[in-house]
Structure 1
Amino acid sequence: MLFLATKAFSQDSPGFKEYDQTTWRLYQQRQWDSLIIVGKQAMASGNDYQYLNTRLGVAWFEKGNYRMASRYFGKALRLNQGDEFSREYLYFSMLYSGRSGGARSVTNGFSEAARQRLQLKSPVRPAYVYVELGPLNTNAINSLRDSYISGSDSIYGELNLPGNAFYFHAGGGFELGSFVTAYAAYSNLSLDRYERIELGDIDTIRRSYDFNQHEAYLNLSVEPVPGLRIVPSFHFIYNRSRPIIATYNQDSAAYNFHVKSYTNKDIATGIALYADFGLFDIALHGNYATLMNKTQAGGGAAITWFPSGNLDY
């Protein structure tokens, strides 16, 4: 009871009625610039309440600054979770500023009537399919097929060149509720390789073989609250080929050649955190990988500024 009484007293304190009446009048007259100025003055004087945040949100929205608008609508919702007017405006503020994940998380609080009016689709569904494929051509083999490779000493020379390839990638995006989206994909690279070995001036080996690479990729985008996104990812790579391996025997002073079945499995994982601070986005990311039997780790950070509060340049 003491808490409720304190809140009631703060809104009836000197200045509140004047600020409330003025911002309401400016809101009705659609004087957005003046409303923003007076609204900021009201907040600086300690008058911070749901309706003032909603009015400021509408003012910024009408000016096309959707990022500033979402800031005030989000605050209005924190003061009153049942404010569907602010929730709907927050949804479009997120959508119009390119933050579709945040828009989806806002829909979790919509009533069924609002969902039908906005024609929102089921929160669990396939979102899209992406496929790309095609040949990758090169003239590397033809340009070097008959070149002299034994060097100035005319003892030994070796070439291992990439030839033509075919690439295939298929993936799909999925919406797994209001807070989670996923992308899963598979890709394959089938590559012709060409080996040529010279001993002295004699072509000893000319041979083609296949290099095959399979990849699986998965990432999740989790946005528990609008403006905070966590993105873990996983990438698996499997390579298979059968190249010729040359070894030199010191005792017999001769080269030995044999075909070796080669396989390699690589894994890359990462996690990224994106946070929305009004006109700024802050991103932090880290990754860990085992690539070609070597361990790698890294991280980074980025700040993105949206001076207009939208996607305009």
Structure 2
Amino acid sequence: MRYRITGIIYLMAAITLFAGEPIINTLTVEQETARFTRSEDWKSMIQTGQKALKKGIDFYNLRYRLGIAYYQLENYHAAIRHFTRAYRINSADPLLKEYLYWAYRYAGREGDARILAAGFSQELKRKAGVPDRFPGEYLSVSLNAGFPVDKSFTDDYVNDTGLAINGSQFLSKTLGYADVGLYKIFSPRLSVYGSYARLRKTSYLYAQENGVAVTKPDYVTNLNQIYLSGTYHVAQGTDLTFGAHFINLVYLRDRYVFEGLQGRIVTDEITDNDRLSFVSVFHSFPYVTTGMTALFSNLNQNNQIQGDWQLTVYPLGNLNLYGGFILSYVHQDPDENMVITDLLMGGKLLSWLWVEGMYATGDLHHASRHQGYIVYNGMDVITRRIGGRWIFPVSDDLTIRLNYTYQNHESSFRPDNTSLPETNPIHYKSHSITGALQWNF
């Protein structure tokens, strides 16, 4: 009898719980999500939709309304996920196409947006506000000035290396450059970027050859640089980028000429060329973009192979906050290996101001950053970089950027005979300031 009563109690409790639990099926989910959408209760819409998906309930209107809810909350990564699922069920809905296009745009996935818009009718393009030409093309102009923190750091230069060892030591003093770049979109899948930069660098140079020492406090190197890259949108969320960087260096070199028992120094103008090529693949996941880059170069007459792994996280599902890193491995023949780490965090601080902070550490000598766009081919070594960027979107057509970087340098006397160790290490610091204008057209 006791067991029968216990069973009845458990049965009544189960019936009570079941009665209190709302029935969830396709009809009730359709009714509830429609009601939340009409009232613009986006958080309740998402809660109901997620519960339905966990129970295996999945249909077009549910995905479509979840996409709208996340879109209205500016979580474009989640919106894309649900809009894409809805698009697989019904790709003919023009309003869905419009939402998905702008979700791609606001998430920074321009290639996906262009591919989607290429299939729009003229009426839908007009209704959705899709430009007649591909948006995002621009012309940019950058100016840079780099200079040491302590301008007198070379005044007390001393080198105790014996004059019998031929070699040289460079300490960077100033760097200035002007850069002009153009980004052009040729088709929904293919875009190209090209730039030309003119650099002028001054260094403190100490060199010794055949028992003669020479000091040049303002040794000048001029560089002409051409950078070309193309990006092909392979598939949804996936881009393949390839390109090259050509560097022409012009500098003066002294050589000692013997004339009988006497000798004299002759200065020659030397022209040299460095080259770099690369290929990258990037893929966008919800909240995360990751990619890998392989680079091949011959900077300063040495062969380098570099591999980069990059990861960027968007915790809010939009471009208002992001952070990530680049981890690089650099091998230079014959047996020099380096690891470089870049950390980046940025986001929207005000409606008219975006801010980024970065920190990089590692031996940047003979390395490159940003898919080979920035090349470190100087004779000294940059071991650490700390900086920030301020971005001012003045209008839809004009953006102003201001960059500042604080850098740690290390310079050593390098013997011409590479089997000998480097000597006379000197540590110093520098500032780097860059201003840029970007015109969108």
What's the TM-score once normalised by structure 1's chain length? 0.75
Identity of aligned residues (%): 23
Letter in structure 2 aligned against 1:105: I
Q: Report the CA distance between 1:54 and its aligned residue.
A: 0.8
* 1:182 is aligned to 2:164: no
Structure with the bigger percentage of strand? 2
How many residues are aligned here?
Answer: 297
Q: Provide the residue aligned with 2:274 in structure 1.
A: 266
Contact 2:98 2:128 in 1 (8 A): no
Aligned counterparts of 1:22 and 1:193: Cα–Cα separation in 2: 71
* 1:220 is aligned to 2:253: no
Letter in structure 2 aligned against 1:182: V
* 1:41 is aligned to 2:29: no
- The runs of 5 or more residues in structure 1 that have no matched partner are 1-13
Contact 1:140 1:163 in 2 (8 A): no
1:21 corresponds, among 31, 37, 52, to 31
Q: 1:168 to 1:84 in 2, by over 3 A?
A: same
Aligned counterparts of 2:256 and 2:101: Cα–Cα separation in 1: 64
RMSD: 4.1
* 1:171 is aligned to 2:181: yes
Q: Provide the residue aligned with 1:232 in structure 2.
A: 242
2:287 corresponds, among 273, 276, 279, to 279
SS at match of 1:86: helix
What's the TM-score once normalised by structure 2's chain length? 0.56
Q: 1:125 to 1:77 in 2, by over 3 A?
A: closer
Q: Provide the residue aligned with 1:109 in structure 2.
A: 119
SS at match of 1:242: strand
Q: 1:62 to 1:208 in 2, by over 3 A?
A: closer
Q: 1:161 to 1:246 in 2, by over 3 A?
A: farther
Aligned counterparts of 2:99 and 2:235: Cα–Cα separation in 1: 16
Deviations 1:174-222 (A, max 9, x none): 12222332211011124467777799xx998979875331111112233
Aligned counterparts of 2:286 and 2:136: Cα–Cα separation in 1: 31
Q: 1:149 to 1:67 in 2, by over 3 A?
A: closer
Aligned counterparts of 1:69 and 1:144: Cα–Cα separation in 2: 57
Aligned counterparts of 1:97 and 1:26: Cα–Cα separation in 2: 25
Deviations 1:141-184 (A, max 9, x none): 99868x78685978999776767665221111112222332211
* 1:312 is aligned to 2:320: yes
Letter in structure 1 aligned against 2:42: W
Q: Report the CA distance between 1:238 and its aligned residue.
A: 1.6
Alignment of 1:1-313 (within 5 A): 15-123=25-133, 127-133=137-143, 166-191=176-201, 211-246=221-256, 257-313=265-321
SS at match of 2:319: coil
Per mean C-alpha deviation after superposition, the further-off stretch among 87-96 and 253-262 is 253-262
Q: 1:105 to 1:131 in 2, by over 3 A?
A: same
SS at match of 1:174: strand
